[in-house]
Chains A and B, each alone.
Chain A
Amino acid sequence: MLIQDNLLLTRSNPSGNGGIQFLYRVKDYGLTAISGPQEEISMIHWEVEVVKYQNPKTAEFEVCHTTELADKTLKFYSDKSLNEFLQKSFQYFEELDSLEKMLPEES
């Protein structure tokens, strides 16, 4: 089972492909993890994107491939490896948020 920290929402895969989506949020950034159906059950995996939220009150987001965490869709084949990545990314998002807050002040 995935960790519940910073979990914004779980919902059925909105694309309608079946499976489930976990949405994590730390400030304006976060992660979406989708586990969809596979014909071979052993091939079930997580597809993970770094996302940037568009609205402080809703779950609207855009996929973000410009962070140092990931420049593409990531695949994880176990909950354990994804959980480790989640912990790492939560810390990164906190730092990213502080950095982004500093930027306007500098300019």
Chain B
Amino acid sequence: MANVKGSSVCRTAVDEGKPADWVPGGEKQTVVDPMKMFHELPREMQFITGSEAARESMRRANIDIAIAYPITPQSESMQQAGYLYDEGYIKEYYRAEEEIGTFSAISGASRAGVRALTATSGPGLMRGMEAVSSWPGARTPIIMLNMCRVINTPLAIQPDNIEMSFLLNTGILLLHAENQQDFYDYPLAAIMASEQVDVTLPAVVSVDGFFCTHARGPVRITPEEYKLPPRDGWRSAVPAMDNENPPARISRDAPIQKSNFISYHMHASWQQEVFAAVERSAKYFDKYLGGLVEVINPDAEDFIIASGCAVSQAREAVRQEGEQGRIVGLVKVKTIRPFPTTSILNAVKNAKRILIPEFNQAGWLHKEVCSVLYGRCNAVIKDGPRVFGGMTMPTEMILEWLEEFRKETK
């Protein structure tokens, strides 16, 4: 994008194929305090797809560079990013060669100290996992939108969030959007949290593909004349690789990659610090998202714990149970990393039965919940219903499971 204010080094509007008096969209926006954007600015209701919600989020996110490789169902969003680039809301943009190239390039961009965005889906994420799993250790704040889809053979484009389980132990901040509204709000919150000095980590906002990305839903959005503050490349746990600062030692010391006691120790402490930073991000998400979880009917004995689209289905199940005079509680898990252990423990302290519906075969959320509730909660935890490969989860399915669960566990 043109940097129209600068010296000979800058590209001009004309260089960008625009009229000489062209003003990039981003230049017309006003920077606003993130808390004001998240909680105070007036909001207008729009009925838009998840991909369009992502576009509106990107428009307000003050993105410096976006790089992506097209894959269904992500492509709807990243071609929208292309339009934002053309309008001057994103400063630099290109379609990369494939996902290893994409995720490597975006890490290069983040190392330059700029705000970098990418997006992918299922097989694309798998292809680029080597690069993705190296982001946290490199302490590169990056925002990645992840529109989940099947990764198993046979090849399919249907929704299935198994790929999120591959991100759980990377040191990446991981959010799971329930609907179009979350896919507008979460990226903005994730960007701000990931760039905090005591965090300095990449963040992924996952959403269940098609169900959200290719369907319309009500989204309350803030005025487009406001944008987030820019990334400050100087405020970072690890200096940007811009040759303006001495680089971090991990980039300088070849012996770290060799086999000796010092290298083991340095590597271990580096990893410990990454995962400690994940936990430190919780206070920012708590502030930006109004809590790491949302709890409905906190006094219930029967609880559903869910994330992503499963929350929407569970909401309706809770409502229908309410119509029948039965109170069922719901915990919506917004942040998968950091995992909201304390919030979940507090929410389900009176629960007798906990049901965990998921859109994947592995039941990764069930495993997560069990690992934190084991020995700390008296409830029986049941894994299911689970659908995958594009299968749907009708409300009746959850209602039947609840009924069965009550019979099994008195």
The chain A residues found within 8 Å of chain B, CB to CB, are 1-2, 10-12, 14-20, 35-39, 41, 44, 57-60, 79
Contacts and interface: CB of A to CB of B under 8 A. Distances in A.
A14 B159 contact: no
Contact of A18 (B46, B210, B395): B210
A12 B319 contact: no
Nearest to A18: B211
Nearest to A21: B316
Contact of A15 (B46, B159, B210, B394): B394
A42 to B, nearest CB: 11
B170 interface: no
Interface stretch (B212-220, B223-231, B253-261, B289-297): B212-220
Interface stretch (B97-105, B307-315, B336-344): B307-315
Nearest to A19: B215
Given A12-B315, A20-B217, A37-B211, 12 more contacts: A1-B46, A10-B218, A11-B312, A11-B319, A12-B313, A16-B313, A17-B211, A18-B215, A18-B309, A41-B49, A44-B216, A58-B323
B47 A1 contact: yes
Contacts of B218: 1, 10, 20
Interface string B373-408: 000000000000001000011111100000000000
15 contacts: A11-B315, A12-B179, A12-B315, A14-B313, A15-B394, A17-B392, A18-B159, A36-B215, A38-B214, A39-B72, A41-B76, A41-B214, A57-B323, A58-B323, A59-B323
A41 B210 CA distance: 10
Nearest to B208: A18
A1 B47 CA distance: 6
Main SS of chain A's interface residues?
loop
A94 B217 CA distance: 29
B281 interface: no
Interface of B: 45-47, 49, 51, 72, 76, 157, 159, 179, 208, 210-218, 309, 312-313, 315-316, 319, 323, 387, 392-397
Pairs A-B, 9 closest by C-beta atoms? A18-B211, A16-B392, A12-B312, A37-B215, A19-B215, A37-B214, A16-B393, A14-B395, A16-B394
Contacts of A2: 47
Contacts of A60: 323
Given A11-B319, A12-B312, A59-B323, A19 B211 contact: yes
Given A39-B214, A41-B214, A14 B394 contact: yes
Contacts of A37: 210-211, 213-215
Given A12-B179, A41-B49, A59-B323, A35 B392 contact: no
A56 to B, nearest CB: 12
Nearest to B322: A58
A66 B319 CA distance: 29
A12 B316 contact: yes
A79 B47 CA distance: 10
Among A2, A17, A57, A60, residue most surrounded by chain B Cβ atoms (within 10 Å): A17
Contacts of A41: 49, 51, 76, 214
Contacts of A12: 179, 309, 312-313, 315-316
Nearest to A16: B392
A61 B159 CA distance: 29
Nearest to A79: B47
Contacts of A19: 211, 215-217
A39 B212 CA distance: 12
A59 B395 CA distance: 14
A14 B179 CA distance: 14
Contacts of A58: 323
Given A18-B159, A59-B323, A44 B46 contact: no
B25 to A, nearest CB: 22
Nearest to A59: B323
Contacts of A14: 313, 316, 394-396
Contacts of A15: 392, 394
A10 B179 CA distance: 13
Contacts of B215: 18-20, 35-38, 44
